[in-house]
């Protein structure tokens, strides 16, 4: 009795303090967790909370590590730790105890232990290995709850390498008698499939069994797997279509137990899953689609209940109907459904309706016309998400006639939106539309101004790049170009006269470039006025040093004579002593050029910015320097990112602080030219395309796009039309003219909003006609793909591959990286190569930087596309060139000692046998034999003395090579004048131009003295090169995946009839490269060191030279291979 009273008394205070909260009575108030939580709620500042939690964690730490703590207490401690971790305080000391709890506790404690583990650790955490045994034990437990817990934790996170250990046990559970276990096992296997697809390949049959399980729960779990499998390979599962349709039929007809009903709807989630699967199966497949028409119709009909979940099913149905091969009466019903969604007063349904419209607009623009008034209402909807979705829809229907209105709506939205992600996305879309459909110069420039000011510094760097490029390239008419540029200049001048401090950095950079380049177009504008405006930017606190260097470059172009000079002098004096080396250099240049007008006119020919300037983007004029340095033993050039990578890998001194001051901001460097590498290869040595590819290339579909672009016909990216979809489109019913349509619809939409005043209604109709103009007249297929039926104002100049020196391409260089601070002045100012050779060290530095390729995170070598080596190839082209002095003594008879598998009979030629070392007792010779997958290095040891030697041992090593011994010198005793042979297998660890093998031979003379002799042998990289037979398609895929690249111009055998073919043949013969394909003036070539060390070459005939671009997943390989290509062509 007294017990009860006491408990009540202790509970009282908390009841009083918390009584406003229902349910508080049942909380255990004197638990430690309770105390902690109460403590936290009483706190007022984040800082206090931090202190309290740290104290709490300390006390937990003390208790968990005390040996007296029972598992029961441990469980309580874990719950507290979970709470602290949830608040964001790390408690890594407790992880091991969580694992212990899962290992040793009883069922309940174990449950908390597993929970803590799954919340604290991730699949790569090393402690997880300690859990594997526990999981194994629990999977075999007779207690179902333990098995369930083990399966749950396994599906949350499990180390990939340990899957084989538990896989059989999980598999076994697929035939467990309890459905809950079977179901969890299916999901666990699905998880395994996601992380390691190869390991569960053999159980695909069991998945089928799960699909046919008598329990609907297990069956529905297996749909997760099938959804994934079918997404990856729809062809492989067409035979299951009938089964899925039958299942759906049964579900829809209510054949499942009542348990599966949700708000009287039979198994809605299951239906959603099935519909998704069906749409994947029926896509582009008429016969499969026909199987499902009936059930889709049935689903649409049945789903009439007015509940959220039925709408979810309907939405899935509609999407499915529009995805599979079309059937007109179903489409009609689906369209009606979409109408219901869009017109619904429920906002969630409206959102989905808009999404559905966006999805179907490519096939059925008529539908958009029907709902135009609703769409316009959605544009003014208070919910930003609805607005955003509407804009997405409008973006898809934009054409030259409605672009102004749509872009304006988008910009309106941008001005209110605060979300970074949305802003970035939308800004890109506006820029795309503006460029594509611009109606006139003023509008274009003004729109872009807004884009730059709103998008700020968050937007994708290629937007300013492509804008500047557009200005630079110009269009077909010179007069138009001039007008556009002039307008831009005037508009920027007035912006600068306003409040430039508000403009984002990127915009300021664009402005200064344009002013520098084109302000002379405005005759009324004195250079010193522009200079003063620019100087104002320099003085602004908010300007970044990157912007300042753009400004200084612009000033360099402008300072000529008169008042301009004094401004220039002032500025260069201020910045000539800047701490920023980049700025200092710019200031120096400004100073020198402003003083020497002769030099300036030569370097910056003002009027001729349109003329072609020969820029050797591959810097081939430095080839001699590079090859000399390489020959003298210098390490091949490595781009900075690679160097840093290596540094960090070797755990050497951190380069961080230096890395930061590197003037090129590698990551933001992107190339202006978004076309194929074909164009890039000549257009830019600054090429940042690998950056671009790396973020685009993350999905496989995009990679395929890239492939098409490289080797297909030339074409603007967006013009590619999904042909299947176009083919799918039903011929649209004859449309009414937009205005008629508008009238009809307005009367229709007036019904729900009768309070509207006629004026606003009229306004909306006007908006409608301006928004949806041109929609009806276009063929439905062209809408989505935006194929250019309407005239495009800013059509880029046609590029014919032969006009390789046209100004547009040459001048892409200055724009190569407008976003980077180290934007190359040399190129930017259109300087001819004279200045480059001027002995200014700074210039050389910046050159060096330009040669650097931008950082790139492209995934490492994709090995899928590779084919096995062709044996014949490698044999016929085996490298037998001597590389030792010819006057060294040779011993041809040694050849007979070659190991059988390498001797002449095997068909593998060996290189010349050369003497590597000789003394009074031993002669050592060596040769190598090329095999398909390796290089065999053979050492012949000949006893030249008259007495036998003993214990002959040879050791060969090389830092860059992996040396494995095939057969070591077996001789205990080497008799006089006899020969023994050691064979080593060499594979490349790290590419190098030459490999220096260092060898040591130990032997014992009869006198008993131990002798040591050292020798060395040099192998060129080309002995390791093997042809890589790939298809053009695989080549394309691999190309995009490789990260290390280098570019160079090589001499072309121009005296031949077909110089490219002839040159490639020489390379093929001398270096055993595989010529994949030659298309016109381009050729692609592939080779590898080992199958996992491929290197791809992209060769292009260009201005009498062979522009070669090499890529490989292996660092240094492109550089080393390039060296050998150079040698091969020179020695010919």
Partner 1 sequence: MIKAILIFNNHGKPRLSKFYEHYNEDTEQQIIRETFHLVSKRDENVCNFLEGGMLIGGSDYKLIYRHYATLYFVFCVDSSESELGILDLIQVFVETLDKCFENVCELDLIFHVDKVHHILAEMVMGGMVLETNMNEIITQVDAQNKMEKSETFIFQSTRQDR
Shortest distance, CB of residue 269 to partner 1, whole angstroms?
A: 5
Q: Which is nearer to partner 1, 338 or 489 (CB)?
A: 338
Shortest distance, CB of residue 321 to partner 1, whole angstroms?
A: 16
Does residue 136 touch partner 1 according to CB under 8 A? no
Does residue 183 touch partner 1 according to CB under 8 A? yes
Does residue 650 touch partner 1 according to CB under 8 A? no
Residue range at the interface with partner 1 (CB under 8 A); choices 420-428, 497-505, 624-632, 980-988: 420-428
Q: Which is nearer to partner 1, 32 or 1090 (CB)?
A: 32
The 8-class DSSP code of residue 412 comes to: H
DSSP symbols for 709-734: HHHS----GGG---HHHHHHPPPPPP
Residue with token string 């006119």: 601
Which token pair is 697? Answer: 């290339």
Using DSSP, how many helices (H) and how many strands (E) does the chain show? 51, 17
Residue range at the interface with partner 1 (CB under 8 A); choices 187-195, 294-302, 403-411, 1066-1074: 187-195
Closest residue by Cα to residue 349 from 379, 391, 307: 307
Q: What is the largest CA-CA distance in the chain?
A: 120
CA distance 364 to 355: 14
Coil, strand or helix: which one is 963?
strand
Closest residue by Cα to residue 687 from 1047, 976, 278: 1047
CA distance 439 to 793: 7
Shortest distance, CB of residue 83 to partner 1, whole angstroms?
A: 6
CA distance 192 to 982: 47
Region label for 475, one of left (φ > 0), alpha (ψ between -120 and 50) or beta (otherwise): beta
Residue range at the interface with partner 1 (CB under 8 A); choices 145-153, 718-726, 756-764, 901-909: 145-153
Does residue 122 touch partner 1 according to CB under 8 A? yes
Contact 930, 908 (CB under 8 A): yes
Which token pair is 828? Answer: 């930017």
Q: Which residues within the stretch 360-399 sit at the binding site for partner 1 (CB under 8 A)?
A: 382-383, 385-386, 388
Q: Which is nearer to partner 1, 345 or 1057 (CB)?
A: 345
CA distance 194 to 516: 54
**β-strands 1010-1020, 949-957 pairing:** unpaired
Residue range at the interface with partner 1 (CB under 8 A); choices 15-23, 488-496, 1061-1069, 1120-1128: 15-23
Does residue 33 touch partner 1 according to CB under 8 A? yes
Shortest distance, CB of residue 92 to partner 1, whole angstroms?
A: 9
Rounded to a whole number of angstroms, the distance between the first and last alpha carbons of the chain is 108
Does residue 351 touch partner 1 according to CB under 8 A? yes
Does residue 341 touch partner 1 according to CB under 8 A? no
Does residue 237 touch partner 1 according to CB under 8 A? no
Which token pair is 124? Answer: 């790569």
Which of 10, 17, 143, 919 binds partner 1 (CB under 8 A)? It is 143
Kindly calculate the radius of gyration of the chain based on its CA atoms and give it in whole angstroms.
37
Cα distances (angstroms) measured from residue 266 to each of 251, 255, 301: 6, 8, 14
Q: How many residues bind partner 1 (CB under 8 A)?
A: 77
Residue range at the interface with partner 1 (CB under 8 A); choices 344-352, 785-793, 854-862, 1032-1040: 344-352
Does residue 1111 touch partner 1 according to CB under 8 A? no
Does residue 259 touch partner 1 according to CB under 8 A? yes
- Report, in this order, helix, strand and coil percent for the chain, each rounded to 5: 60, 10, 30
Closest residue by Cα to residue 157 from 200, 122, 198, 184: 122
Contact 141, 111 (CB under 8 A): no
Contact characters 542-571, partner 1, x per CB under 8 A = ------------------------------
Residue range at the interface with partner 1 (CB under 8 A); choices 23-31, 93-101, 489-497, 616-624: 23-31
**Cβ-based neighbour number of residue 802 at 10 Å:** 9
Q: Which residues within the stretch 421-450 sit at the binding site for partner 1 (CB under 8 A)?
A: 421-422, 425
Shortest distance, CB of residue 56 to partner 1, whole angstroms?
A: 15
The 8-class DSSP code of residue 854 comes to: P
CA distance 142 to 139: 9
Does residue 39 touch partner 1 according to CB under 8 A? no
Q: Which is nearer to partner 1, 268 or 1020 (CB)?
A: 268
The 8-class DSSP code of residue 1118 comes to: H
Which of 58, 96, 129, 145 binds partner 1 (CB under 8 A)? It is 145
Does residue 104 touch partner 1 according to CB under 8 A? no
Query: How far does Cα 430 stand from its chain's mean position?
Result: 23
Shortest distance, CB of residue 540 to partner 1, whole angstroms?
A: 29
Q: Write phi, then psi, for 926 (nearest 5 degrees).
A: -145, 155
Q: What's the residue count for the chain?
A: 1132
CA distance 1057 to 1055: 7
Q: Which residues within the stretch 46-85 sit at the binding site for partner 1 (CB under 8 A)?
A: 79, 82-83
Q: Which is nearer to partner 1, 353 or 999 (CB)?
A: 353
Shortest distance, CB of residue 1072 to partner 1, whole angstroms?
A: 44
Residue range at the interface with partner 1 (CB under 8 A); choices 115-123, 242-250, 404-412, 826-834: 115-123
Closest residue by Cα to residue 659 from 651, 673, 671, 647: 647
Q: Which is nearer to partner 1, 341 or 487 (CB)?
A: 341
CA distance 641 to 1044: 10
Does residue 340 touch partner 1 according to CB under 8 A? no
Shortest distance, CB of residue 46 to partner 1, whole angstroms?
A: 11
Does residue 748 touch partner 1 according to CB under 8 A? no
Residue range at the interface with partner 1 (CB under 8 A); choices 20-28, 768-776, 948-956, 1047-1055: 20-28
CA distance 68 to 39: 27
Does residue 347 touch partner 1 according to CB under 8 A? yes
Does residue 523 touch partner 1 according to CB under 8 A? no
Query: How far does Cα 657 stand from its chain's mean position?
Result: 27
Does residue 597 touch partner 1 according to CB under 8 A? no
Q: Which is nearer to partner 1, 37 or 540 (CB)?
A: 37
Region label for 830, one of left (φ > 0), alpha (ψ between -120 and 50) or beta (otherwise): left
Q: Which residues within the stretch 189-228 sit at the binding site for partner 1 (CB under 8 A)?
A: 190-191, 217, 221, 224, 227
Does residue 260 touch partner 1 according to CB under 8 A? yes
Does residue 621 touch partner 1 according to CB under 8 A? no
Contact 83, 37 (CB under 8 A): yes
Contact characters 267-306, partner 1, x per CB under 8 A = -xx--x---x------------------------------
Which of 380, 419, 646, 1077 binds partner 1 (CB under 8 A)? It is 419
Q: Which is nearer to partner 1, 256 or 1076 (CB)?
A: 256
Which of 71, 130, 157, 529 binds partner 1 (CB under 8 A)? It is 157
DSSP symbols for 737-760: PHHHHHHHHHHHHHTT-TTS-HHH
Shortest distance, CB of residue 175 to partner 1, whole angstroms?
A: 16
Residue range at the interface with partner 1 (CB under 8 A); choices 103-111, 755-763, 925-933, 1045-1053: 103-111
Does residue 119 touch partner 1 according to CB under 8 A? yes
Does residue 188 touch partner 1 according to CB under 8 A? yes
Shortest distance, CB of residue 807 to partner 1, whole angstroms?
A: 38
Does residue 963 touch partner 1 according to CB under 8 A? no
Contact 33, 76 (CB under 8 A): yes
CA atoms within 13 A on the CB side of 517: 25
Does residue 660 touch partner 1 according to CB under 8 A? no
Does residue 628 touch partner 1 according to CB under 8 A? no
């Amino acid at each position: 009795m007294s017990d009860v009273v006491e408990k009540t008394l202790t509970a009282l205070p908390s009841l009083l303090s918390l009584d406003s909260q229902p349910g508080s009575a049942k909380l255990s108030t004197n638990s430690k967790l309770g105390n902690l939580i109460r403590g936290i709620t009483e706190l007022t500042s984040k800082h206090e909370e931090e202190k309290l939690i740290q104290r709490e964690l300390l006390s937990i730490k003390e208790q968990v590590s005390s040996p007296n703590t029972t598992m029961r207490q441990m469980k309580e401690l874990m719950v507290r730790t979970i709470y602290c971790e949830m608040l964001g305080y790390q408690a890594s000391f407790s992880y091991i105890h969580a694992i212990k709890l899962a290992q040793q506790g009883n069922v309940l404690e174990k449950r908390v232990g597993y929970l803590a583990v799954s919340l604290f650790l991730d699949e790569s955490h090393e402690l997880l290995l300690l859990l594997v045994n526990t999981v194994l034990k629990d999977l075999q437990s007779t207690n179902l709850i333990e098995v369930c817990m083990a399966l749950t934790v396994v599906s949350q996170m499990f180390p990939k390498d340990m899957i084989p250990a538990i896989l059989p046990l999980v598999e076994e559970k697929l035939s467990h008698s309890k459905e809950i276990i079977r179901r969890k096992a299916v999901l666990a296997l699905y998880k395994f499939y996601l992380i390691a697809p190869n390991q569960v390949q053999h159980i695909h049959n069991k998945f089928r069994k799960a699909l046919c399980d008598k329990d609907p729960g297990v069956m529905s779990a297996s749909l997760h797997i099938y959804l994934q499998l079918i997404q990856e390979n729809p062809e492989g599962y067409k035979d299951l279509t009938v089964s899925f349709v039958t299942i759906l039929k049964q579900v829809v007809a209510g054949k499942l137990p009542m348990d599966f009903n949700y708000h009287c709807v039979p198994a809605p989630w299951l239906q959603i899953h099935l519909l998704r699967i069906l749409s994947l199966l029926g896509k582009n497949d008429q016969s499969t689609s026909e199987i499902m028409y009936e059930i889709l119709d049935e689903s649409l009909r049945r789903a009439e209940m007015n509940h959220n979940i039925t709408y979810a099913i309907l939405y899935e149905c509609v999407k499915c109907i529009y995805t599979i091969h079309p059937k007109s009466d179903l489409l009609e019903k689906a369209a009606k459904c979409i109408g219901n969604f869009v017109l619904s007063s429920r906002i969630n349904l409206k959102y989905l309706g808009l999404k559905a419209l966006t999805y179907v607009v490519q096939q059925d623009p008529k539908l958009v016309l029907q709902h135009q008034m609703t769409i316009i209402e959605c544009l003014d909807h208070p919910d930003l998400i609805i607005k955003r979705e509407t804009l997405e829809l409008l973006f898809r229907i934009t054409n030259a006639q409605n672009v102004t209105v749509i872009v304006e709506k988008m910009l309106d939205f941008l001005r209110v939106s605060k979300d970074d992600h949305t802003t970035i996305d939308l800004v890109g879309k506006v820029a795309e539309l503006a460029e594509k459909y611009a109606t006139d110069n003023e509008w274009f420039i003004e729109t872009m101004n807004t884009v730059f000011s709103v998008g700020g510094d968050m937007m994708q760097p290629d937007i300013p790049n492509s804008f500047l490029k557009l200005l630079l390239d110009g269009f077909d008419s010179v007069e138009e170009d001039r007008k556009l540029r002039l307008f831009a200049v005037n508009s920027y001048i007035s912006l600068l006269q306003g409040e430039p401090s508000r403009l984002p950095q990127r915009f300021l950079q664009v402005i200064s470039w344009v002013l520098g380049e084109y302000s002379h177009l405005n005759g009324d504008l004195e250079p010193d006025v522009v200079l003063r405006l620019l100087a104002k930017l320099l003085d602004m606190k908010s300007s970044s040093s990157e912007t300042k260097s753009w400004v200084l470059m612009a000033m360099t172009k402008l300072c000529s004579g008169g008042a301009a000079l004094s401004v220039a002098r002032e500025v260069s004096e201020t910045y000539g002593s800047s701490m920023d080396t980049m700025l200092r250099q710019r200031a120096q240049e400004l100073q020198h050029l402003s003083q020497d007008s002769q030099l300036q006119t030569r370097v910056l020919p003002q009027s001729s910015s349109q003329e072609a300037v020969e820029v050797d983007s591959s810097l081939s004029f430095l080839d001699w320097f590079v090859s000399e340095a390489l020959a003298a033993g210098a390490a091949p050039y490595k781009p900075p990112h690679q160097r840093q990578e290596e540094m960090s890998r070797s755990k050497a001194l951190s380069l961080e602080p230096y890395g930061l001051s590197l003037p090129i901001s590698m990551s933001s460097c992107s190339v202006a030219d978004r076309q194929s590498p074909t164009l890039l290869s000549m257009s830019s040595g600054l090429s940042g395309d690998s950056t671009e590819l790396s973020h685009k290339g993350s999905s496989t579909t995009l990679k395929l796009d890239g492939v098409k672009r490289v080797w297909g016909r030339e074409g603007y990216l967006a013009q590619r039309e999904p042909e299947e979809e176009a083919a799918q489109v039903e011929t649209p019913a004859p449309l009414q003219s937009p205005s008629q349509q508008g009238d009809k619809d307005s009367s229709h939409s007036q019904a729900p909003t009768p309070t509207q005043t006629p004026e606003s209604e009229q306004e909306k109709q006007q908006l409608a006609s301006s928004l949806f103009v041109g929609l009806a007249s276009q063929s439905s297929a062209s809408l989505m793909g935006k194929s250019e039926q309407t005239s495009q104002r800013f059509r880029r100049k046609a590029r014919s591959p032969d006009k390789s020196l046209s100004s547009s391409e040459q001048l892409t260089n200055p724009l190569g990286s407008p976003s980077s601070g180290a934007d190359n002045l040399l190129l930017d100012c259109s300087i001819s190569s004279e200045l480059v050779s001027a002995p200014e060290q700074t210039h050389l530095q910046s050159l060096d930087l330009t040669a650097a390729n931008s950082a790139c995170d492209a995934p490492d070598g994709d090995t899928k596309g590779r084919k096995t080596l062709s044996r014949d190839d490698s044999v016929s082209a085996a490298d037998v060139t001597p590389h030792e002095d010819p006057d060294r003594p040779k011993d041809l008879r040694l050849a007979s000692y070659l190991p059988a598998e390498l001797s002449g009979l095997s068909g593998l030629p060996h290189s010349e046998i050369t003497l590597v070392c000789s003394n009074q007792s031993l002669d050592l010779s060596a040769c190598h034999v090329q095999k398909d997958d390796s290089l065999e290095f053979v050492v012949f040891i000949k006893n030249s003395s008259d007495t036998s030697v003993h214990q002959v041992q040879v050791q060969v090593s090389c830092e860059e090579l992996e040396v494995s011994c095939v057969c070591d010198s077996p001789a205990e005793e080497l008799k006089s004048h006899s020969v023994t042979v050691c064979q080593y297998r060499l594979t490349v660890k790290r590419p190098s131009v030459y490999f220096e093998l260092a060898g040591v031979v130990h032997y014992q003379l009869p006198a008993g003295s131990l002798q040591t002799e050292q020798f060395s042998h040099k192998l060129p990289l080309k002995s390791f090169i093997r042809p890589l037979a790939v298809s053009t398609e695989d080549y394309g895929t691999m190309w995009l995946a490789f990260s290390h690249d280098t570019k160079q111009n090589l001499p072309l055998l121009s005296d031949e009839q077909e110089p490219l073919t002839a040159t490639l043949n020489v390379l093929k013969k001398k270096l055993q490269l595989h010529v994949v394909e030659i298309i016109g003036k381009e050729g692609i070539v592939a080779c590898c060191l080992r199958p996992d060390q491929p290197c791809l070459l992209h060769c292009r005939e260009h201005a009498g030279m062979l522009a070669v671009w090499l890529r490989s997943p292996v660092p240094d390989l492109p550089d080393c291979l390039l060296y050998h290509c150079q040698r091969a062509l020179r020695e010919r």
